[in-house]
Amino acid sequence: MSHIVIVGGGVIGVCTAYYLAERGARVTIIEKGDIASGCSYGNAGLIVPSHSVPLAAPGVLWRGIKWMRDPESPFYIRPRLDRDLVRWLWRFRGFCTDAHLHRAVPVIRDLSHLSLGLFRELAERGTVDSGFRQDGVLMVYRTAAALADGHHEARVLGDAGITATVLDGDGARAVEPALRPDIAGGVYFPDDAHVTPDRFVIGLGRVVERMGVTVRTGTEVLGFATAGRRIAAVETTRGDIPCDDVVLAAGSWSPGVARGLALDLPIQAAKGYSITYEQPANGPRVPMLLVESRFAVTPMRGERVDTLRFGGTLELAGLDLSIDRRRVGAITRGARDYLTLPQEMKLLEVWRGLRPCTPDGLPLIGRPRRWDNLVVAAGHAMIGLSLGPVTGQLVAQTIAGEKPLLDLGPLDPDRFA
Ligand SMILES: Cc1cc2nc3c(=O)[nH]c(=O)nc-3n(C[C@H](O)[C@H](O)[C@H](O)COP(=O)(O)OP(=O)(O)OC[C@H]3O[C@@H](n4cnc5c(N)ncnc54)[C@H](O)[C@@H]3O)c2cc1C
């Protein structure tokens, strides 16, 4: 392996650099901001084989359209005349079926399990101190109707080999005593884990630098110099960088970068917010997904203080990073419908990020036919943190010419062409 240039210093780019450097490759990461300045910084930190259901699931699109007029709804499509959005929604609609669900769940499950194993290995080896814990994730339901859907989902996931325990209200409160007395119940996934995402990505960024990877932050990729079917150099705001292989890991910005290579990547940005507080006394101890509100709650290990993070909303609004304070307010208010929390909590940070979403809910990982020395690794939507290590391993195996850990067919970046 010779010189490999990775575009993007998020969880996908940094994990890829790690597994390439482990194989002795010469690697450069090019990042327009800082390491983890995109979606990988303030997410909910959950590593979730239990989340093996893709965004494209029956009923999702119609719920999004119904909620378009509600400024506090958890799923929102900002109306705009954008050809790429219309094409994306049309394709997405086609995947909102039970048949697709049954095809996609095993693929995401296998990726997630492998990735969880790699997270565990990184923690056990002491490679990076990321606050990794395997405390499970509790899905919490306020209403009996939603709990019945939860039972159905637990059965679908159970058939796919994912362990889930169905709990009534008392059972759920035994797992997490901070839950309110009026919740209907929960489904507990004991194998799920979590990290503090910025600690993981920034920490691994430092590790790869020590392994010899060149990390060029504050450097934006503008285009590519090509020769026939090969990329000869990556053109940046700080000059051209010659390369033997390129990995495109620019998250929601990947379609814009790929246009310079005549590639049409169907990725739409889906904005989400997180609000991080100092962990209050007797605050929640178990990561949770508050199902009707679609919010995540994650207690996290900080370097100085422990924190409690609320994350949520999914807004198809393009590459817009503005903060809508109504949606931010709805997240903490919504959490109080499920949890007994102190009136006053110490706010540490409000954050937003853009999830890179494909129409079928599966990432794009592999070599597109058009180029001999390009690997795409983007479109991880709601589970990019979870899938960071396995994606890094798969990309490194592809570039090294090794047999990949699993079949990359369903992740083919050309599958929509
Ligand atoms: C509220 C919220 C909660 C979430 N919770 C979870 C969770 O619990 N578990 C989970 O698994 N996932 C979660 N996610 C999803 C996860 O955060 C993303 O899937 C993941 O971070 C995507 O990583 P990435 O490396 O592909 O993209 P990014 O982290 O966005 O990295 C892409 C990088 O490319 C850089 N870049 C872009 N263009 C250029 C250019 N031209 N030149 C140089 N650099 C460039 C950007 O600056 C950026 O740093 C959540 C997301 C949100 C918004």
pLDDT in tens, 359-392: 999 999 999 999 999 999 999 999 999 999 999 9
* Ligand 1 centroid from CA 355, angstroms: 6
User: Rounded to the nearest 5°, which phi and psi values hold at 124?
Assistant: -65, -35
Task: Mark whether 316 and 248 lie in a shared domain.
Answer: no
Ligand 1 binding pocket includes 384 (Cβ within 6 Å): yes
The ligand 1 atom nearest the CA atom of 383: 11
Alpha carbon distance 260, 263 (integer Å) = 8
Please state, rounded to an integer, the average pLDDT across all residues of the chain: 93
The ligand 1 atom nearest the CA atom of 194: 8
Last residue of a domain, one of 357, 380, 400: 357
What is the pLDDT averaged over residues 69-86?
A: 77
Residue 136 forms part of a structural domain: yes
Which DSSP category does 227 fall into?
A: E
3-state SS assignment for residue 302: coil
Residue 116 near residue 123, CB atoms below 8 Å: no
Task: Mark whether 350 and 297 lie in a shared domain.
Answer: yes
Of 261, 232, 258, residue with least CA distance to 245: 232
Residue 406 forms part of a structural domain: yes
What is the pLDDT averaged over residues 114-123?
A: 97
Residue 261 near residue 374, CB atoms below 8 Å: yes
The ligand 1 atom nearest the CA atom of 386: 11
Last residue of a domain, one of 318, 342, 357: 357
Structural domain tally of the chain? 2
Residue 256: band (very low, low, confident or very high) from pLDDT cuts 50, 70, 90: very high
Ligand 1 binding pocket includes 192 (Cβ within 6 Å): no
3-state SS assignment for residue 49: helix
Alpha carbon distance 214, 317 (integer Å) = 34
Ligand 1 binding pocket includes 298 (Cβ within 6 Å): no
What is the pLDDT averaged over residues 91-100?
A: 90
pTM above 0.75, yes or no: yes
Residue 11 near residue 385, CB atoms below 8 Å: yes
Residue 117 forms part of a structural domain: no
Could you tell me where the DSSP H helices lie in 245-324? 254-259
Q: Pseudo-torsion of CA 84, 87, 91, 94, nearest 10°? A: 150
Ligand 1 binding pocket includes 366 (Cβ within 6 Å): no
pLDDT > 90? residue 36 = yes
**Which of 382, 386, 387, 395 to probe ligand 1 with, by most ligand atoms within 8 A of CB?**
382
Tens digit of each residue's pLDDT (9 = 90 or more) over 193-234: 999 999 999 999 999 999 999 999 999 999 999 999 999 999
Which domain range does residue 36 map to?
Answer: 3-41+199-265+361-411
Strands (DSSP E) contained in 203-306 are: 214-216, 221-227, 230-236, 239-242, 245-248, 268-278, 288-290, 295-300
Tens digit of each residue's pLDDT (9 = 90 or more) over 305-317: 999 999 998 889 8
pLDDT value, residue 180: 96
Ligand 1 binding pocket includes 245 (Cβ within 6 Å): no
Task: Mark whether 316 and 216 lie in a shared domain.
Answer: no
Angle, alpha carbons 226-227-231 (nearest 5°) = 45
The ligand 1 atom nearest the CA atom of 236: 42
* Ligand 1 centroid from CA 375, angstroms: 17
The ligand 1 atom nearest the CA atom of 250: 34
Last residue of a domain, one of 357, 372, 397: 357
